[in-house]
Amino acid sequence: MSAPRPGLAELAPDRLPDGVLAVVRRSCPTCSLVAPVLAQLAGAGVGLTVWVQDDPSFPAGVAGVVDDTGLELSYRLGVTTVPTLVRVEGGREVERLEGWDRAGWERLTGVGDLGPGLSGFSPGCGSMTVEPGVADELAVRFLGPALKSRRVDLGRLEDEAEAMFARGWTDGLPVVAPTEARVLRMLDGTRRAPDEVVAVVPPDQVPCTVEKVAVNAVLAGCRAEYLPVVLAAVEAACTDEFNMHGLLATTYFSGPVVIVNGPVALAVGMNAGLNALGQGNRANATIGRALQLVVRNVGGGRPGGVDRATLGNPGKYTFCFAEDEAGSPWEPLSVERGFGPGASTVTLFAGSGVHGVVDQLSRTPESLARSLALALRAVAHPKLALGFDVVLVVSPEHARVFKEAGWDKARLRAELDGLLTVPGQEMVRGAGGVAEGVPEGFASTSLPKFRPGGLIIVHAGGTAGLFSAIIGGWVSGPTGSEPVTREVGS
């Protein structure tokens, strides 16, 4: 006889039956092996409760077996292996063992001489709750109702991809349907509660929960382990300093660029090497895309709406890469920005596309620095200064030139700053026959191309190619956007 199934309200982990709780299934050989042990415990006055996953008539000779063929008890208890033996005091779990281990079971139950004649140890089997397909179904059944997002029922005859295009949820490329099961799997990537507010997303200033980020991460094609990176990127983008609102609204080319540092980059399989700024790596592609989809869908920021870009740039689909720290002669960007070595971070930069720099002939750091400075001067316009930050992505072959000469990053930056301090008379409006330029009042001074801290240097790229990349910025500083770094949580 199986006992009536307790109501769900009684299933919270702090309302368990006191004594000893065993979770078993008949189809598990170890559970069958220990059936006599359970009968022994039933007669020992330890307050035995047995939850059985497949056959309520199992184990024979034990009263008070609870039918858990619906698996909700096992699921809520987080059982992954059977048999699982739990000691409960005051309604709460105090100890748990998995599989059969005579010594352990005797200690947990306080009953001696258990299972005479059995071997002393037998590993358990997988709980039915973790079987493929079942785990998703249980998550939807028991955790799905906690998700707050509106359910949208796509018609049976609607093409799924077309339906999501039609609802305006995409950036122009197909998206992955955010089913409850997929969103729940995505949420497994973080310990943060689904209803925690991550940021207030512009332009509509909408409080955005972990759940909404997860929904958009599914759309973007992320794996669950990317979610903490996406969350950190959303947090960083939605700060007042980064100014996502203005970055979205501008007529300029720019959009958020996500630079990832630390062990998380390797852990989730990001690309910092060959083609680091290009296509083909799922983590790079989908983390940057997820951020953009959050801005689009949650914040309501869309091209032609608040996004007024004259031309935009392809990086507004996604622009995310990792710094190659292992191959770098320099400290990582995250360390420069005040985080400890080994910290995982995202740095958000308001960037406007990639401009390549070729220098295949410089073999001295002085020559290469001059080369880079010439190219850096063109950011936004060679006759404009101080208004735009820049990220200089130095590739391994260029970095080697500096490394062999003993130039650290500070030295390179100092040299570039010197080379990029330009006489105002070359920069003023009308100079060189070009109307664009800085106001005439600067004619008698020299102007630094970049503000202090406005030249960011990172190391990435493949090992062949004497090229580096310039990612020009947008309006810099308190007037526009400050680069923002956030630690990636769990």
Q: Residues in the site for other proteins, rule: CB under 8 A?
A: 133, 136-137, 139-141, 144, 147, 149-158, 160, 164, 169, 177-183, 201, 204, 206, 208, 212, 215-216, 219, 240, 243, 245-247, 249-250, 293, 297-300, 475, 478-481
Q: Distance between CA 34 and CA 227 in Å, rounded?
A: 41
At 66, give phi and psi (nearest 5°). -100, 130
What residue has token string 């960011």? 456
Nearest approach, Cβ of residue 313 and other proteins (Å): 18
At 321, give phi and psi (nearest 5°). -150, 165
In the complex with other proteins, which residue's Cβ is closer, 37 or 247? 247
In the complex with other proteins, which residue's Cβ is closer, 33 or 140? 140
Nearest approach, Cβ of residue 118 and other proteins (Å): 38
In the complex with other proteins, which residue's Cβ is closer, 176 or 443? 176
Tokens of 55: 């056959």
Residue 103: which of 89, 118, 125 has the closest Cα?
Answer: 118
Nearest approach, Cβ of residue 141 and other proteins (Å): 6
Nearest approach, Cβ of residue 474 and other proteins (Å): 8
Q: What is the DSSP letter of 62?
A: -
Q: Distance between CA 342 and CA 88 in Å, rounded?
A: 40
Tokens of 407: 């130039």
In the complex with other proteins, which residue's Cβ is closer, 141 or 223? 141
Nearest approach, Cβ of residue 170 and other proteins (Å): 10
Using an 8 Å Cβ cutoff, are 276 and 321 in contact? yes
At 473, give phi and psi (nearest 5°). -95, -165
In the complex with other proteins, which residue's Cβ is closer, 124 or 454? 454
Q: What is the DSSP letter of 78?
A: T
In the complex with other proteins, which residue's Cβ is closer, 215 or 471? 215
Q: Distance between CA 192 and CA 283 in Å, rounded?
A: 20
In the complex with other proteins, which residue's Cβ is closer, 133 or 280? 133
In the complex with other proteins, which residue's Cβ is closer, 160 or 417? 160
Residue 348's identity, in one-letter code, is L
Nearest approach, Cβ of residue 341 and other proteins (Å): 34
> What are the distances in angstroms from CA 97 to CA 19, 73, 183, 257?
14, 17, 31, 47
Residue 359: which of 326, 392, 325 has the closest Cα?
Answer: 392
Nearest approach, Cβ of residue 156 and other proteins (Å): 4
3-state secondary structure of 115: coil
Nearest approach, Cβ of residue 297 and other proteins (Å): 4
Residue 181's identity, in one-letter code, is A
Neighbours of 393 (CB within 10 A): 25
In the complex with other proteins, which residue's Cβ is closer, 34 or 164? 164
Helix axes 210-220, 282-293, angle to 10 degrees: 130
Cis peptide before 341 (omega within 30 of 0): no
Nearest approach, Cβ of residue 454 and other proteins (Å): 16
Q: Distance between CA 173 and CA 168 in Å, rounded?
A: 11
In the complex with other proteins, which residue's Cβ is closer, 20 or 147? 147
Using an 8 Å Cβ cutoff, are 216 and 312 in contact? no
Nearest approach, Cβ of residue 47 and other proteins (Å): 35
Q: Distance between CA 389 and CA 473 in Å, rounded?
A: 5
Q: Distance between CA 221 and CA 319 in Å, rounded?
A: 15
**CA of residue 58 relative to chain centroid, distance:** 44
Nearest approach, Cβ of residue 320 and other proteins (Å): 19
Nearest approach, Cβ of residue 39 and other proteins (Å): 36
Nearest approach, Cβ of residue 192 and other proteins (Å): 17
Neighbours of 6 (CB within 10 A): 14
In the complex with other proteins, which residue's Cβ is closer, 116 or 132? 132
Helix axes 210-220, 227-237, angle to 10 degrees: 110
Cis peptide before 203 (omega within 30 of 0): yes
In the complex with other proteins, which residue's Cβ is closer, 212 or 409? 212
CA angle, 377 as apex, 330 and 243 as ends, to 5°? 75
In the complex with other proteins, which residue's Cβ is closer, 178 or 332? 178
